[in-house]
């Protein structure tokens, strides 16, 4: 039986859910993120060489350390989404969403009937290999599974009303890097067009009162004070840089300290 989704619980109580992207191919990274105090890990299948067995082991590590496991799929392929759900992940990030129909297909792939059209198997890891009460498993899975649409295309911003209106969508998550690319402002930090796009997504959320809004914060393309974003209604964030960049930064700092000590 799927555990309580910590992120959903935080969002539904108006709290901030804080996560980190995982690009290092080792379940130990998930454990480290849990020990650091993150609420969720965003396991990245879009920009990494992970295989699905690695993802499954990362999900196991998340369950063992009480951190929510969310997976960014490499495409919006319903079969890929199904396989991610069957390994026990608690939700999916959908990259490069452009339309409401794409979100609806993802909801169908991730949620069981009657909320979706997920394929049936009672012998997967998600179902604990032989669910004693499969219908109870489907109900709990539907309650705890998260669907997160990444808003990183100008087209998605233009269609944000219809995207946010999709039943089953939990979070519209703004990705500043690709959104900057799509808006034609890549490399121009805190550009007014970016601020306008972010504000449009947030204002639509306020008007419709559907789905939560998330963003990658402390980002090289867009980094207003986090307090400002929270006050505007942001409730789900990933911190930048990624785990790989954090490791590189820490190593560089230690090398620099050693070199400076040598020069003294």
Dihedral, CA atoms, 9, 11, 15, 20, nearest 10 degrees? 90
**Which among 25, 30, 19 is positioned nearest to 65, based on CA atoms?**
30
Which pLDDT belongs to residue 240? 82
H or E stretch including 43?
Answer: strand 40-44
Contact 243, 33 (CB under 8 A): yes
pTM (predicted TM-score)? 0.94
70 and 91 Cβ atoms separated by less than 8 Å: yes
Residue 94 to residue 211: CA distance in whole angstroms = 14
- What is the SS3 assignment for 229-245? HHHHCEEEEEECCCHHH
Rounded Cα distance, 33 and 22, in Å: 9
What span, in angstroms and rounded, lies between the C-alpha atoms of 112 and 107? Answer: 9
Q: What is the pLDDT of residue 173?
A: 98
194 token code pair = 């970016």
What is the model's pLDDT at position 222?
96
Contacts of 14-18 with CB under 8 Å at 24 or more apart are 14/235, 15/235, 16/230, 16/234, 16/235, 16/236, 16/237, 17/214, 17/235, 17/236, 17/237, 18/237, 18/238, 18/239
Element (H, E) at 222: none
Query: For residue range 109-134, what is the model confidence (pLDDT) as tens digits?
Result: 999 999 999 999 999 999 999 878 99
Catalytic center residues: 47
198, 234, 56, 247: CA torsion to nearest 10: 80
Strands 146-151 and 171-174: parallel
Q: What would the pLDDT profile of 60-94 be if each residue is shown by its tens digit?
A: 999 999 999 999 999 999 999 999 999 999 999 99
C-alpha 238/C-alpha 256 separation (Å) is: 28
Domains of the chain by range and CATH?
Answer: 6-263 (3.20.20.60)
* 3-class SS string, 4-24: CCHHHHHHHCCCCEEEEEECC
Closest CA to 111 of 78, 89, 88, 141: 141
Mean pLDDT, the chain cut into blocks of 10 residues (264 residues total): 91 97 96 97 96 97 96 97 97 98 98 97 93 92 98 98 97 97 96 97 95 95 95 95 92 95 90
């Amino acid at each position: 039986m799927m555990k309580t989704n910590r992120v959903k619980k935080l969002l539904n109580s108006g709290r901030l859910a804080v996560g980190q992207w995982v690009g290092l191919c080792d379940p130990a990274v998930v454990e480290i993120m849990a020990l650091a105090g993150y609420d969720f890990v965003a396991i990245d299948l879009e920009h990494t060489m992970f295989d699905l067995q690695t993802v499954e082991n990362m999900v196991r590590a998340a369950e063992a350390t009480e951190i929510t496991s969310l997976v960014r799929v490499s495409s919006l392929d319903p079969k890929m989404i199904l396989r991610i759900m069957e390994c026990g992940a608690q939700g999916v990030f959908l990259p490069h969403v452009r339309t409401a129909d794409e979100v609806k297909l993802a909801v169908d792939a991730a949620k069981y009937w009657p909320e979706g059209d997920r394929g049936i198997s009672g012998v997967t890891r998600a179902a604990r290999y032989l669910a004693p009460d499969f219908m109870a498993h489907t109900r709990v899975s539907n309650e705890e599974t998260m669907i997160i649409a990444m808003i990183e295309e100008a087209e998605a911003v233009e269609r944000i009303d219809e995207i946010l209106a999709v039943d089953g969508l939990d979070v519209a998550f703004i990705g500043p890097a690709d959104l900057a690319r799509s808006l034609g402002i890549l490399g121009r930090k805190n550009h007014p067009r970016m601020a306008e796009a972010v504000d449009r997504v947030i204002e639509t959320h306020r008007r419709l009162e559907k789905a939560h809004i998330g963003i990658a914060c402390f980002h090289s393309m867009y980094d207003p004070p986090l307090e400002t974003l929270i006050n505007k209604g942001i409730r789900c964030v990933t911190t930048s840089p990624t785990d790989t960049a954090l490791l590189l930064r820490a190593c560089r700092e230690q090398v620099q300290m050693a070199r400076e000590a040598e020069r003294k």
